[in-house]
Structure 1
Amino acid sequence: MHVVVNAAVSADGKLSSRRREQLAISGADDFARVDQVRAASDAIVVGVGTVLADDPHLTVKDEDLREQRREDGRPPNPARVVVDSNGRTPTDAEILDDEAATYVCLSEAAPVDRRADLADRAELITAGDERVDLLRAFAALREAGLERIMVEGGGELIFSLFEAGLVDELRTFVGPNVIGGRDAPTLADGEGFVADFPTLDLESVDRLDDGVLLTWRVDER
């Protein structure tokens, strides 16, 4: 399995404002790049916080890219995955429509009624007691044939994936704006590291729109 984290952040490293409202940090060129990464993926993963804040659809936008996937013998859109320990994903969320297969990763703590509601709309993966055990959940995704994984946020999930040692590659578009705010989400929130910090090898730097795209590989040394 190869896990790529893709994110757009402000010049000061914020994913959005303290109101956690979706912001357009990048532009048309980066949107097209993201669509290409989606089209090359077997699954797109987000945390439930992203679903609640943005209600993303997580489908490939370009019809030519969808058609290429069909010609390759794949469904037009990659599978969608929500990491949702307590089953908070709304049953009318865009991510649960029939445009692509959807998996919801739950913990044992998710209420039975929420499981029943979601089971009508998605494939459920249960891993972990109080929180989703990401190692077990991603192993289940791999068993389902999902090898190339794109992660689109948010900061809590991205931190947890780094903590679990599951990230292979980080692609970050850095935009030309400053958002600020101690409560604004960053690329990797969560508890944060105090030792054994993950380190990255910079693979490429590319100007894009009015910002820069940084591509990193996780240093496995």
Structure 2
Amino acid sequence: MHVHVNAAASLDGKLSSRRREQVTISGDDDFARVDEIRATADAVAVGVGTVLADDPHLTLDDPGLVAAREDRGDSPHPARVVADSRARTPTDARILDDAATTYLLVSEAAPGGRREALEAAGAELVVAGAERVSLPDAFDALEARGVDRLMVEGGGELIFSLFEAGLVDELTLYVGSLVIGGRDAPTLADGDGFVSDFPRLSLRDVERVDDGVLLTYDC
């Protein structure tokens, strides 16, 4: 599976403010670029924190991209994936509508009642890991279901876990021309952080987009 992490951050590396509300960091050109990446993916993934904070839909915005997927025999929208160890996704979340298949990655510790409620709401559960989701095992299960290209849109906890597990193949990072600040504001890679064996990336390209810079890395 090819895992492509895409994110937008402020000049000081923040994905959002300390209130963890959605902040507009890029502009129309970057939004169109992100939609194009989604259109080429088999699935789009986020962590449960992003679902709880933003209630994203994770579908394509451009009807032309939807039509192009259908013309090549794909579903109109890529599948949606949520890393949610304890099954905290609300049963009325937008990602649980019938616009696309939604996979919830949960651990064995997720309460049975929550699992049943989410399955009834339309989610397809993938159980991997005892207390926390084992991302390597969960990704193997997704690959068995036909997910060969996975786009990851955040948040910082999930992105850190992916780097920690050595699962990231490509990173595109839009750096916007604003400062958010705040020691409690989410960053590109939160989690416990590294103290040694820091992941090293190879810079492939630098491009000006909107009023910011798009950095592309091979991992």
Specify if TM > 0.5: yes
* SS of residue in 1 equivalent to 2:137: helix
* SS of residue in 2 equivalent to 1:5: strand
Looking at structure 2, the residues matched to 95 and 23 of structure 1 have their Cα atoms a distance apart, in angstroms, of: 20
Structure 2 unmatched runs, 5+: none
Residue 29 (str. 1) matches residue 32 (str. 2): no
Q: Deviations over 1:62-87 (max 9, x none)?
A: 00000000000000100000000000
Q: Superposed, which structure 2 residues align to 1:66-145 within 5 Å? A: 66-120=66-120, 121-145=122-146
Which runs of 4 or more aligned residues in structure 1 lie more than 2 Å from their structure 2 counterparts after TM superposition?
Answer: none
**Which residue of structure 2 lines up, in the alignment, with residue 171 of structure 1?**
172
The residue identity in structure 2 corresponding to 1:23 is V
**Which residue of structure 1 lines up, in the alignment, with residue 56 of structure 2?**
56
Deviation at 1:173, TM superposition (A): 0.2
Q: State the TM-score, normalizing by the size of structure 1.
A: 0.98
Looking at structure 2, the residues matched to 191 and 65 of structure 1 have their Cα atoms a distance apart, in angstroms, of: 38
Looking at structure 2, the residues matched to 58 and 119 of structure 1 have their Cα atoms a distance apart, in angstroms, of: 19
* SS of residue in 2 equivalent to 1:159: helix
Supply the RMSD in Å over aligned alpha carbons: 0.4
Q: Deviations over 1:102-125 (max 9, x none)?
A: 000000110011000111211100
Deviation at 1:31, TM superposition (A): 0.2
Identity %: 68
Structure 1 unmatched runs, 5+: none
Q: State the TM-score, normalizing by the size of structure 2.
A: 0.99
